[in-house]
Amino acid sequence: MMKRKNHLWIAVLILAILIFFILRFTLFYIRSDGFSGLSMFLPILLLCFILFAIGMSASFAVWVYLDCKKRGDDPILWPLVIIITTPFIGLLIYFLRRSEIKQTCPACGRRISLRAKYCEECGTRITTTKEVYEIMANKKTHHLRLIIIGAICMVLAVLCLTGFIVTAATGNGVNTDVTSNERIWNPGVITNNRDAYVNGVWDLDFRHASDGFVEEVTMSIHDPEKEYLYADINCGKVPEGSSLTLWLVQNDTVQSVDVTSLSEPLEYSLAEFAEGDIFVRLQINGVEDVNSEIFIR
């Protein structure tokens, strides 16, 4: 009966790990508007990384669960620590804090060291049993198979993640074409930025960005003949040769406007576009300390 309960907890633990990573993957997918603009190779690498990470976390968490049962530690708390803090940090904390394997005092039931001659609680003399001798003699790591599986999954997860990062950083399989009708993925960085699109108004502020970095949102045109795109943009620093370009992309219709040094808010007609969604993009090339507010009305 006890063994069946142990297996049930292990199954619940693995299920919790799966749910945890699936939720994280789903949130990433939603926040990233899917994988438009990426080759299939990158999502496959990312999916493999997640699966191997799940295998790694599950293997190490189950091993810690069994080790806790052996040492009399909390078999629920420590596996959860492994999952929440990742195996790298969780295992380090566990090995620093885990208890030694103990025996039970036959007189008062207190957990005492295997090497103890007397009980710390009641003073009863402890006779070392054959079972205790076997535990002390057997110093091999228990359930080694779980550790091996976890280590293999860890190596494969690192390889997949490295492949994903290198491929994305080099631009292979990543859409960086500012005129594309798919999402733009940037291999560069942007610092101190505030990017919010609320109630049809896009507020973008940033300190600095890599050359060619593109920020974008998808807006909706309801009446092209009457609607305009308004852009109030201020570039705090404009080094020589730098620029900030506003791009409007809808299928084969592509328009661009240099908004580096606007003396007043831009009012741009949308008559050349059709009703429906339109990509609104800012391509950053060297400008700094930028504040912008863009919307359609």
Render pLDDT for 108-136 as a digit per residue (tens, 0 to 9): 766 656 566 667 667 666 666 555 545 44
Looking at the chain, how many residues does it have?
297
Q: Is the pLDDT of residue 93 over 50?
A: yes
pLDDT of residue 137: 46
- Measure the CA–CA gap between 269 and 275, rounded to whole angstroms: 13
Sheet of 266-269: strand order equals: 194-198, 201-206, 288-296, 228-237, 266-269
Give mean pLDDT, residues 24-48.
70
SS3 186: coil
pTM of the model: 0.61
Give mean pLDDT, residues 61-83.
81
DSSP code for 116: -
Render pLDDT for 40-70 as a digit per residue (tens, 0 to 9): 788 788 888 888 988 898 889 888 888 887 7
**CATH, range 190-296:** 2.60.120.260
pLDDT of residue 10: 59
pLDDT of residue 11: 64
pLDDT of residue 232: 96
Give mean pLDDT, residues 175-181.
90
In which residue are the tokens 């305009």 written?
228
SS3 103: strand
Q: Is the pLDDT of residue 138 over 90?
A: no
Identity of the residue numbered 238: V
What residue segments make up the domains of the chain, in order of their start? 2-102+134-170, 190-296
